[in-house]
Amino acid sequence: MSPEHRAAGPNGRAAPPTVPPFVPPAAGPSRTGPAGFLPAPARPSHPPAEPGRPVGDSVYAAPPSRWAPVELDRPVDRFEPKPPSGSSYRPDTIFDGWSSEHVRVRLASVRGYAHRGNGRPREDDVAVGLHGSGALVFAVADGVSGAAQSHLGATLACRTAVDTVTRQLDEGRRPDELAWAEVLNHAAYQLVAQTAKILGLSREDAAAAERLMATTLVTGVVVPSSLGLDVHLVSVGDSGAWLLSGGRRFMSVIREPVSGGPVASSAVVALPRVPGDVRSHSALVSGSDRLLVGTDGFGGPLGDGTGPVGRLFAEHLAPSLEPRGLAHLLDFSRETFDDDRTLLVVWPASAVEAQP
C-alpha cells in the first residue's frame, strides 16, 4: 500500500505517545527499506552522445546500437535488470502481430524500469482474439502494485474478458449491444475464484482477491464496417484508449469526467471492484487512423500527445512496423517514467493499403 493510502487524518494523534524509534542502520547507506524499495541500478552509465547522432524525433531511426532503448530527453540510467520474483515464469517483454482481412494488429507489453530495478514482474498484460465474424476482441490490463499477485490478476482479467466477449458474439449478440457488465463481472469473479484456489480458502473472498490480484482492465471489440472499424469498449481503472488521427492528434476514446485534484494520485479503482453503472465507449477508426489501447505506463508519458513521446509514436506507428519494433519503441527511456507499459495498435485495412 502506498503512503498515499496510509495517510490518515489527525485521529491517531490523540493516542498515547508511543512513537516507534528509528533504528541505527548498519554502516554505509541503507540497502534495505520499505516494501517496494527502489534499489540502485547495478551498472549506472550515461553513454556519451555519439558524433553525428540524430536528435529529436529522428532518434528512433538511428539509435546508438540497434536495440538500445530509444532515449527521450534525459533517459533512465542503464542497468541490467534483476530477475522477476514469483514462482511462475513472466517474461520481461512480449510482442505479437498479425493481419486479417480487415485489421492489422501489433501489440507489446514491456516491464518497466522500476520493476526491472526492484525485481518485480511485469504486472501488465494484453490478450487479443479474432472472432469468426471478423471482429477483433481485445483486453489490456495493469495489475495494481499494491496487490501481491497482480500480474496473475492482469492475465486472468484479459483472457477472461476476451473469452466472455467472444462467447457473446458466438451467441449472436450484436457488437454494439454486448453485455459489458457481464464481461466485467466474469473477469472480476475470475480473480475471486482463482484467489480462493491459490490461497486454499474454504469460501470465496472478494476482499482477499482485491488484496491479491487487483487489476485495471480495458476490453472491447473492433468491428469492420463500411466506414472503417467500429470500436466499442469498457474500462475499469486508468488504462486508456486513443485514436491517432491526422498523423499526430491523439484523442481519448474514453470520455470520463476529469476528477483531478490539486495533486496526482496513483490510486485506482480496479477489478474485482466493478462500477455500478457500466458505461461503454464507442469510436470510428477510418482512413489512416490508428486505434491505440494501453496502460497508464504508456498513457502517462503520452500526456496529450504533443510532447516527445507523442511525436515518437505518431511518427513510427506505421502499418509496416514489425511487432518487435513496437516492443522496442514502447521500451523508450525517459527519466521518471518507469512503469510497465503495454500497447495494442490496430490499423484498418484502408490504412494498410494506403501505406507507401
Partner 1 sequence: MADNRGNLIPMYVVADESGSMTPVLGELNAGLASLHRALLAEPMAAAKVRFSVLGFSNGVDVRMSLADLRHEDELPVLSSTGGGTSYRAAFTALLTRIPQDVQELKSAGYTVYRPAVFFLSDGQPNSNEDWASVHRQLTDRSRGVAPNIAAFGIGAADAATILNVATDRNYAFVQIPGADIGAAITKFCSALTTSIVASGMSLAAGNAELVVDKPEGFRMAIDVV
Residues 298 to 327 in contact with partner 1, rule: CB under 8 A: 300-310
Looking at the Cβ atoms of 30 and 202, the one nearer to partner 1 is: 30
Looking at the Cβ atoms of 300 and 319, the one nearer to partner 1 is: 300
The nearest distance, CB 71 to partner 1, in angstroms, is 14
The strands making up 93-99's β-sheet, listed across from edge to edge, are: 93-99, 103-110, 341-348, 290-294, 240-245, 249-252
**Which one of residues 279, 335, 354, 355 is an interface residue with partner 1 (CB under 8 A)?**
335
- With contact defined as beta carbons under 8 Å apart, do 237 and 297 qualify? no
- φ/ψ of 147, rounded to 5, equals -100, 135
The nearest distance, CB 145 to partner 1, in angstroms, is 4
**Per rule CB under 8 A, is residue 156 in the interface with partner 1?**
yes
Mark residues 163-202: x for contact with partner 1 by CB under 8 A, - for none: x---x--------------x--xx-xxx-xxx--xx----
List of long-range contacts for 67-71, beta carbons under 8 Å, 24+ apart: 67/328, 69/328, 69/331, 69/332, 69/333, 70/312, 70/328, 70/329, 70/331, 70/332, 70/333, 71/332, 71/333, 71/334
- Asked if residue 224 has a cis previous peptide bond (ω within 30° of 0), the answer is no
**Per rule CB under 8 A, is residue 12 in the interface with partner 1?**
yes
Count residues near partner 1 (CB under 8 A): 109
Half-sphere exposure of 42 (CA within 13 A, CB side): 10
- With contact defined as beta carbons under 8 Å apart, do 164 and 182 qualify? yes
**Per rule CB under 8 A, is residue 59 in the interface with partner 1?**
no
**Which one of residues 109, 160, 219, 333 is an interface residue with partner 1 (CB under 8 A)?**
160
**Per rule CB under 8 A, is residue 339 in the interface with partner 1?**
yes
Q: Compute the distance between CA of residue 215 and CA of residue 162 in angstroms, rounded to an integer.
A: 15
The nearest distance, CB 341 to partner 1, in angstroms, is 11
- With contact defined as beta carbons under 8 Å apart, do 300 and 339 qualify? yes
**Per rule CB under 8 A, is residue 3 in the interface with partner 1?**
yes
**Per rule CB under 8 A, is residue 22 in the interface with partner 1?**
yes
Looking at the Cβ atoms of 268 and 352, the one nearer to partner 1 is: 268
Half-sphere exposure of 322 (CA within 13 A, CB side): 3
Instruction: Name the one range near partner 1 by CB under 8 A: 59-67, 90-98, 106-114, 219-227.
Output: 106-114
**Which one of residues 102, 232, 334, 341 is an interface residue with partner 1 (CB under 8 A)?**
334
Instruction: Count the Cβ atoms, other than its own, within 10 Å of residue 158.
Output: 26
DSSP β-ladder status, 136-142 and 217-225? antiparallel
Q: Interaction with partner 1 in 222-281: which residues (CB under 8 A)? A: 236, 238, 262-277
The nearest distance, CB 104 to partner 1, in angstroms, is 27
